[in-house]
A and B are shown apart, each in its own frame.
Chain A
């Protein structure tokens, strides 16, 4: 792989993600003010000391956006990684073992998917104690139903190939077949799905925060910030749009990178371009 072969669209995505990740890691160093520090009047317009203005309590919007990147990205990423670990292991097991195991997992998955995700999440989160890990876990479990679906479909496609049969005839165990024969051949669709699900996780987390069941105040997160500032819109104050734009930008950046990765991995040696 050489740097020149990366298309511009992917560069845009990479730069966008890099900025978000750097903000998340070095938030205390970059942010001009503290996360919870009230620094001025409420809903000050952009400019002057406050680059993006202040929010509904008079906190610096830019600083909160930078701190918010931290929570939002961490929670969304953790939930996506977990949901993939869970969904892929279960779906591959279902595809390789087949029969009863497959039926059990698949029907249970159908059952989970039959319940609207958002309502399910609201009910569960309202009952469970409000810890960050509970939030991550609930998001991961709910998302893993989607991963299971696609994981089982792609794994089944590969599991009927003759090289898998050859491995079975050799006497290989299920673990070898899953990790050495099937997994490498299903990576590109799953990678694409990972990007997509990560973007959805950000949106889902933002939705939950907006509804008050996600990240709890006063911690900053992008969805929560939209909620905090939504009333300003009535008075023509655009503070709510800033975190909203951040969510959209990150989701787009992730997809740009995933598109490129998918094209690259869909062929063995470096991808075949757009031809």
Chain B
């Protein structure tokens, strides 16, 4: 049987316009070849910039702005779709090949009902009558486990949750009965507990409809659950291509091995957790007009240790960080730091109190002034808190740059000239410059590729050993918690669900929410999804 999709020696280029230089042609993808049989799933995996989305879109003969497919063949049912004219391509898109985007919220038109958008492609291509299309949509809503499938199509995109929207998008792609669907990171923007439902729904729907799929993601554990074959990409080239079993269990290349083994590190927790550098006592907090976010939250953190705060989006973990920094004064309760109560509001705090607590943000991009050089960014706390200037300041900035393993050649760079990981390192150096006793880390690695994130975590651990700084580490990733925490606080809907030493919090008996959270974290193991689903009813109606 001939392959459904056959990509041969694909080459994709784009033109970049570096400032002050002549335009340059950049090769995004080179020499990538793969075949996909009917009804099979191929996972494309790699870090950002690896070219995985670009390859995925080439299956629709599409290049994003400025991107050109300059070489190779993309054969769909033996026909090269790269050479089709406009009408021919329109015939392929939305009929033979469909696309599921990463952010369903941005991809749906907010002005139309979901049902109309789901059946639009089928009607456009004249594949079925409106009545038939409705019936098919209803069937797909059922297969995907959407709540009230009869009336679901009557809703507008803003009336359903993110997880439901992602499934509605899958329904939209499946509706015209395509032979191939390209999934572009469909679960990346979702919480872990939602991700697992969407993943299960997608897998179920693919099996039901015998559709082939290209599944693009940066998370090897996710792709292991859903695909038959995996292709690992890096810098636009194939690193490894094989069956899922082979890639996960016996990777041939070093890079793949690193991806498989990422975050396997586990840290022994500190034995004595009695002291308290930071103590949060019965804190209630909310935003204007009586909307309460935090309810009676208490926890503490001994000096030199790491407290991880885990929870999904909306659980109040970032709000808690704002309360600790004083940006959001609590309505009740108090924050004790080093035995003394901290003034509730930022304005009431002395400079010395501010110096001792520093913060690292999730998005290093927006956390640094784009018009200041690395020297200015790291140097400001030095002159502000310690009155340093001139050569002495430069000397100290260089020291800090060495500490974050970057070196003095970065002194005069702007943030825009740094990679994601480097930016986060500079943000860490800025926090360190104040010689703080506590650093609040608000998901500092969640915007980074796994290997880069691991580097940042190792750096944070090294700095803790060197300077005995304490961390409050906010994250949604249980693997990180295992790797770095001494104590753990689990938050859900603004309440503290569980708090204590890591070994205690992460071992049974569990409360319902912690159990759900722990079981939702994808593991690098084939068949994990089925195993989890067996122990847990599909509660997809809930989210």
Contacts and interface: CB of A to CB of B under 8 A. Distances in A.
A170 B367 contact: no
Interface stretch (A49-57, A220-228, A264-272): A264-272
Contact of A170 (B354, B366, B370): B354
Interface string B374-413: 0000001100110000000000000000000000000000
Contact of B367 (A166, A172, A272): A166
A170 B384 contact: yes
B384 A275 contact: no
B368 A169 contact: no
Given A163-B367, A163-B369, A268-B414, A169 B359 contact: yes
B246 to A, nearest CB: 43
A268 B415 CA distance: 10
A116 interface: no
A5 B363 contact: no
B366 A163 contact: yes
A162 B371 contact: no
A102 to B, nearest CB: 15
A169 B354 contact: yes
Contact of A169 (B325, B371, B380, B385): B325
Given A170-B354, A275-B17, A165 B370 contact: no
Interface string A237-275: 000000000000000000000000000000111111101
Contacts of A170: 354, 380-381, 384-385, 434
Interface in A152-182: 161-163, 165-166, 168-172, 180-181
Interface string B5-46: 000000000010101100100000000000000000000000
Q: How large is the interface on B (under 10, 10 to 19, 20 to 34, 35 or more residues)?
A: 20 to 34
A185 B327 contact: no
Contacts of B372: 184
Given A163-B369, A268-B414, 14 more contacts: A161-B366, A163-B368, A165-B327, A166-B367, A166-B430, A169-B359, A170-B385, A171-B354, A171-B384, A184-B372, A269-B19, A269-B20, A269-B414, A269-B417
Interface of B: 15, 17, 19-20, 23, 66, 325-327, 346, 349, 351, 354-355, 358-359, 361, 363, 366-372, 380-381, 384-385, 414, 416-417, 430, 434
24 contacts: A161-B366, A162-B366, A163-B368, A166-B359, A166-B361, A166-B367, A166-B368, A169-B325, A169-B327, A169-B358, A170-B354, A170-B380, A170-B384, A171-B349, A171-B354, A171-B355, A171-B384, A172-B384, A184-B372, A268-B370, A268-B414, A269-B20, A272-B17, A273-B17
Interface of A: 2, 5, 161-163, 165-166, 168-172, 180-181, 184-185, 267-273, 275
